[in-house]
Amino acid sequence: MKRKWKIVITLAAIVVLAFGVYASTVYSKRGVVTVQTGQVVRGDLVSQVTASGEIKPKNYINIGANAMGEITQILVKEGDRVRKGQLLAKLEDVQPAAEVAAQKATISSAEADTTAAEAGLKAADDNIQTMQAALDHDKADLERMKAEYERSELLFKEKLLAKQDFDLKRYTYEAQVAAIRQSETRLTQARATRDQTAAQLNSARRKVVMNQASLTSFEDLLQKRNFYAPLDGVVTNLPVRQGESVVPGIQNQTGTIIMTIADMSLITAEVKVDETDIVNIHLNQVADITIDAIPNKVFKGHVSEIGDTAILRSTGVAASQSAISSQEAKDFKVVIALDHPPDEIRPGLSCTAKITTATRASALTIPIQALTVRQKGDLEVQPAGKKGASDPTVKLDPTAQKARKEELTGVFVVENGKAQFRKVETGITGATDIEVLSGLKEGDQIVTGSYQVIRTIRNETQVKVDNKAPVTEQKT
């Protein structure tokens, strides 16, 4: 009987001892948080901004209708290469061509009138010169006849000249005076005729100028019935067919687009960059472009243009021209010139660009998820039994309260089995890592997971490191 009790007592002691050991172990692990860790390492870091958009030629022109009419000829097809000045299409031009021909005939008639007026003016000038020379000659004869008349008058008064001879000299002199008056009258009339001819010539010349201006207008209307290539390029869009009617644009309505000519010598990727990333984008930054229609290939390019106007993401309208709330997400247009575009590329293809904004060689890096934010007051650790600033019963002045709410960016470093918060200064951000400028050194062990732990863990918390990969259950 005694032996039986001894066995029972021994077993009970063993159970109590085992329970005590288990309870001691559980108690010792009270407050310990299991974490995943990583090390601060050095490595090359590349910061990139990813944006999507579409392929566009740098220079393209939509050729629109400048006149109303029916398309009678289309001389190119979509995909054709054209040269600047090449005839592309024609509209029906019967009436404009007839107006040009009629105006040319009118100009020919006006030029003939001008030529006739010029000939008449020259003849009038020659006639006036001849009459003026004759008048000058007659005036010289008049002076001679006047002298002879005055001498004969003296001789007649002295009875040295017969009356018959005196009368003859007088009649001759008076006849010359009358002839000169008649010549002067004819000269005046000739000059008046010349002036009239000159006026007719000026009028004819003005008519020629006016008719030439009208011809220019009619020829412009006729020219607008034909469409020529404004640059060397490729026909990338041809939405009309021969026989269709086209109309020009008016104030509030665009006209018919005949075709689009694109300069394919310089191809760009036009992407939209988020407003939070646009400050990191600069001209000539390199970029990798992938095109959905050309898989497994990466094309190099560089930033050639950065938009200054924010574009609303929902509507694509400039924010300054929209009445929608300014709180809506916005993008900025960025143009990337492809260095060596492939021959099979086409405008409008969807693409994605990764723009390299910064690079660092042998930078001190940590995983992005290790970075967290804490208020300064939440990092304080108070000894047991003492009231700290975090105790609601402790009253602080406004300056101290503001200081406690200051947010600090940092990581939790594992030291002596505890997670200690350490403030860090960061640099550029890569795909998975971020650069550390100060606060850590190479080889430091930092908490990298889990997300819930990093979000809730407190300063000086005891931690247990478990970096084993999680076991996933296989489905049967």
User: Among 166, 195, 223, where does a domain finish?
Assistant: 223
- For residue 441, the domain's CATH number is 2.40.420.20
pLDDT attached to residue 220: 86
User: Is residue 3 domain-resident?
Assistant: no
* DSSP per-residue letters across 97-131: HHHHHHHHHHHHHHHHHHHHHHHHHHHHHHHHHHH
Residues 385 and 421 in one domain: yes
Q: Name the pairing type of β-strands 350-367 and 425-429.
A: unpaired
User: Is residue 212 domain-resident?
Assistant: yes
The pLDDT of residue 10 is above 80 = no
User: Is residue 61 domain-resident?
Assistant: no
User: Is residue 13 domain-resident?
Assistant: no
Residues 181 and 137 in one domain: yes
| Per-residue model confidence as pLDDT tens digits over 442-472 | 999 999 988 888 988 988 899 988 888 665 5
Q: What average pLDDT does range 94-105 have in this prediction?
A: 88
Residues 121 and 190 in one domain: yes
Taking a C-beta distance cutoff of 8 angstroms, is the pair 356, 281 a contact?
no
User: Is residue 406 domain-resident?
Assistant: yes
pLDDT attached to residue 142: 79
pLDDT band at 12; cut points 50, 70, 90: low
Residue 339 CA to residue 341 CA, distance in Å, equals 6
Q: What are phi and psi of 215, to 5 degrees?
A: -60, -40
User: Is residue 407 domain-resident?
Assistant: yes
Q: Give the DSSP H or E segment for 187.
A: helix 163-223
User: Is residue 83 domain-resident?
Assistant: no
pLDDT band at 322; cut points 50, 70, 90: low
pLDDT attached to residue 363: 92
Of residues 4 and 274, the one with the higher pLDDT is 274
pLDDT attached to residue 476: 44
The pLDDT of residue 151 is above 80 = yes
- For residue 356, the domain's CATH number is 2.40.30.170
Report the share of the chain in percent with pLDDT over 70: 87
Q: What average pLDDT does range 345-370 have in this prediction?
A: 92
pLDDT attached to residue 282: 94
The residue assigned the tokens 């010359």 is 176
pLDDT attached to residue 470: 60
Residues 138 and 188 in one domain: yes
Residues 304 and 327 in one domain: yes
Q: What average pLDDT does range 276-301 have in this prediction?
A: 93
Q: Residue 189's Cα: distance from chain center in Å?
A: 71
pLDDT band at 211; cut points 50, 70, 90: confident
The pLDDT of residue 127 is above 80 = yes
Q: Say which residues have a Cβ less than 8 Å from residue 336's Cβ, sequence separation at least 6.
A: 268, 269, 270, 271, 287, 289, 301, 302, 303, 304, 353, 355
pLDDT attached to residue 25: 45
| Per-residue model confidence as pLDDT tens digits over 215-230 | 888 888 888 889 999 9
Residue 290 CA to residue 305 CA, distance in Å, equals 19
Residues 325 and 434 in one domain: no
Q: Indicate the burial class of 63 (C-beta count within 10 angstroms; 0-12, 13-18, 19 or more).
A: buried
Residues 340 and 377 in one domain: no
- Rounded to 10 deg, the angle between the 163-223 and 94-157 helix axes is 170
Q: Which domain holds residue 393?
A: 32-45+364-465
Q: Say which residues have a Cβ less than 8 Å from residue 108's Cβ, sequence separation at least 6.
A: none
Residues 304 and 189 in one domain: no
Give me the number of domains the chain comprises: 3
Q: What average pLDDT does range 61-90 have in this prediction?
A: 90
Closest CA to 285 of 354, 361, 332, 360: 354
pLDDT band at 336; cut points 50, 70, 90: very high
pLDDT attached to residue 329: 81
Residue 51 CA to residue 321 CA, distance in Å, equals 24
Q: What average pLDDT does range 125-145 have in this prediction?
A: 83
Q: What average pLDDT does range 96-114 have in this prediction?
A: 87
- For residue 108, the domain's CATH number is 1.10.287
Residues 120 and 181 in one domain: yes
The pLDDT of residue 245 is above 80 = yes
Q: What are phi and psi of 427, to 5 degrees?
A: -115, -125
pLDDT band at 29; cut points 50, 70, 90: very low
pLDDT attached to residue 158: 80
| Per-residue model confidence as pLDDT tens digits over 392-408 | 555 556 777 777 888 89
In the predicted model, what is the mean pLDDT of the chain? 84
Closest CA to 409 of 381, 430, 379: 379
Q: Which range among 94-108, 194-208, 382-396 shows the weakest confidence by mean pLDDT? A: 382-396
- How many other CB atoms are there within 10 angstroms of residue 35's CB atom? 22
Residues 280 and 299 in one domain: yes
pLDDT band at 28; cut points 50, 70, 90: very low
The pLDDT of residue 308 is above 80 = yes
Residues 356 and 375 in one domain: no
User: Among 165, 190, 223, where does a domain finish?
Assistant: 223
pLDDT attached to residue 405: 85
User: Is residue 259 domain-resident?
Assistant: no
The pLDDT of residue 27 is above 50 = no
The pLDDT of residue 102 is above 60 = yes
User: Among 169, 190, 223, where does a domain finish?
Assistant: 223
Residues 283 and 370 in one domain: no
